Chain A
C-alpha cells in the first residue's frame, strides 16, 4: 500500500489578515505558518492510522513551494510518513499545483491520494478533483470516514443535509474533513526521526498557470452592533423584521 498525502503551508488560524504592495501581496509580517489543518488533522493522521494497521504501508508527503515550506513539511514528517517530496516552485495557482502533484503521482503510482478538503488560505477545494482528473482516478470529496478492506474502500462523504457511503476500488483520490481522524501532537521520537527522514526536492514540470491574483481586499467594516435591552426583546424582533428584513 502506497499513500500520498498532499500538504499545504498556511497561516495560523488566528493570523491577522492584511495586505501590502497596494493590496497585491499577503502581509507575512509576524505570521505563524502551520500545516493546513485539513491536511494535518484529517488526511495525514488517517494515513498514519492506516499504516499503523498495516506497517508495510508507505506514506509519502508532497508539497509545492519554496524552501520556506521545509519547516512545515518536517513538522508533518514528525507526525508520521516515510518521506517527503517538495516540488521546488511557487504555488502559482491550483491547476499548477495539481499538475505538479499529478506528475509525481503518475511516476509513483499511489493507491490512495489524500488531500484536505481545502486550504484555509485560498479556500479553493480544487486540488483533489484536479489531481484525480489528471491521473484518471476516481474522486471522493468531503470525506468524513475512510475504511479499507483489501482493495475496496468504503468512504463516507458529506452531501447536502446528510451523508452518503460510497464503495470504490483503489486507487482513489479523497479529500478529507472532520470525522476522518483526530488531531495528534508530534512526540519527541517523531520529531527526532523527522530530522533524518528523506526530504526530496524536485524541480517543477513546465506548466502554465491558468489564473493569477490581481489584488486582495478586506470586507467592509461592520457598522457596529446595535444593542437591545434584554427587557425589550420585542424591539429586536421589530429591528430584524423592519430594518434588517431578515425575518
Chain B
C-alpha cells in the first residue's frame, strides 16, 4: 500500500500546490505505515531530491520532453502505467487546473474511486473516508472510497507545506510515451502578477470602487502585500477588470490565507468563491453589507480614505 503523488510542473519548476500534495502524501503514508513516492513527468530544472524535505522517499521521473505540455490522454496513459509498475494504491493530485484535467481520467482508467477537492487527510480508522468541500464551500461531505486503488485531488491552500530535512532518491522510469493529439498553439501567461489560485494574499474590489480609474489604491495595496488582485462579478461584467480576475461561484474559486474585500457587499454567490479563505477582511461603507457576517475583521468606512492609510500602515509596520 504505497502512496504516489503527482508533481505538477511548469517550465521546469515544481508548482507550489505540489509541495502541499507532497506534505499531505507523506503524512498519509505515515498514517498507513508505508512510504510516499512522487511521479514527475517531463524535463525539470528544480532539484527533485529536495522533495525529500517534504517527506517524499523516492521520485520517479519520466523525463520525456513531450510531457512538458499537458495532453490528458498521454498523461493518463503514463500515470496509470506508473501506478501499475510502482504498485501504488493511493494516488494524489492537486485540485488545480492540471489536476482537474487528468485526475478523474486516471481514476476512470484504474477503476478507482476518486474524491476531488479534498480538504483534510483521509480517515483510515475504518475504511478510507475523505472529507471534501461541497456546495461551493458552503459545506463538507465525508466520502468513502470502496475501490482497491484510491485517487484524491487536494484543494490548494488547504494543507500547509512542512519543509524539514531529507533527500529523496531520484530515478527515471521507463514508460513509452505516444504521440500527443493535442497541439499547444500558444501560451499566454500574465507576467509579473501573482497567479490568483496560487496567491497567499488576495486583494479584491467591487462596485464600491465606482470605476476602473479608481483601481490604483487597490493595486498599491496589493503590491505592498505581494498579493494577487481579484474582483466581483459586476466589476468583471462591466469590463472594469479582466474576466480572469472574477472570483465567486461562477468565476475563480480561491482559498488564500488572507482575502481583503474592498467595496464588495458579499452576495452569497461571491462568498461561494472565497469562503475557504483563512482570514477575511472587509472594508465597506455600508454596515449592513452581508460580507461582514462572513468576515474576521472589518472596517465600516470610506474605502477611498481607508485603503491608502492601510497601505501606509503596512509599510510602516514593515519599517519601510
Contact = CB atoms under 8 A, between A and B. Distances in A.
Contacts of B301: 229-230
Given A160-B195, A179-B243, A234 B313 contact: yes
A121 B138 CA distance: 10
A119 to B, nearest CB: 10
B310 A178 contact: no
A120 B135 contact: yes
B204 interface: no
A162 B189 contact: yes
A124 interface: yes
Nearest to A98: B108
Contact of B100 (A125, A163, A214): A125
A126 B104 contact: yes
Nearest to B136: A120
Given A178-B250, A222-B294, A225-B298, A121 B135 contact: yes
A12 to B, nearest CB: 10
Interface residues of A, number: 81
Given A122-B134, A227-B298, A129 B101 contact: yes
B143 A212 contact: yes
Nearest to A128: B104
B111 interface: yes
Given A93-B113, A160-B195, A247-B201, A215 B133 contact: no
A217 B193 CA distance: 36
Secondary structure of the B contact surface, majority rule: mixed
Nearest to A238: B317
Interface string A230-243: 10011011111100
Given A120-B136, A165-B185, A237-B317, A139 B114 contact: no
Secondary structure of the A contact surface, majority rule: mixed
Given A142-B100, A246-B258, A210 B268 contact: no
Contact of B281 (A98, A132, A236): A236
B231 to A, nearest CB: 13
Contact of B102 (A117, A129, A161): A129
A213 B142 contact: yes
A32 B186 CA distance: 42
Interface stretch (B144-152, B169-177, B209-217): B144-152
Contacts, number: 272
Contact of A233 (B111, B137, B249, B313): B313
> Which size bracket describes the interface of B in this complex?
35 or more
A159 interface: yes
A138 B143 contact: no
A13 interface: yes
A202 interface: no
Given A37-B250, A129-B105, A241-B317, A161 B193 contact: yes
Nearest to B314: A237
Contacts of B182: 138, 140, 166-168
Given A125-B95, A134-B108, A142 B101 contact: yes
A229 B281 contact: no
Contacts of A30: none
A236 B299 contact: yes
A47 interface: no
Nearest to A175: B100
Shortest 8 CB-CB contacts between residues of A and residues of B: A230-B301, A161-B195, A210-B113, A162-B189, A129-B104, A126-B104, A246-B258, A139-B72
29 contacts: A17-B139, A95-B114, A117-B100, A120-B135, A122-B141, A123-B116, A124-B104, A134-B108, A138-B72, A140-B182, A158-B244, A160-B195, A161-B195, A166-B182, A166-B185, A167-B183, A168-B183, A209-B146, A213-B144, A216-B140, A216-B142, A222-B293, A223-B296, A225-B296, A225-B297, A228-B298, A234-B316, A236-B281, A241-B317
Given A167-B184, A218-B140, 11 more contacts: A17-B139, A127-B104, A138-B181, A160-B195, A166-B184, A214-B144, A225-B282, A225-B293, A226-B296, A228-B298, A234-B313
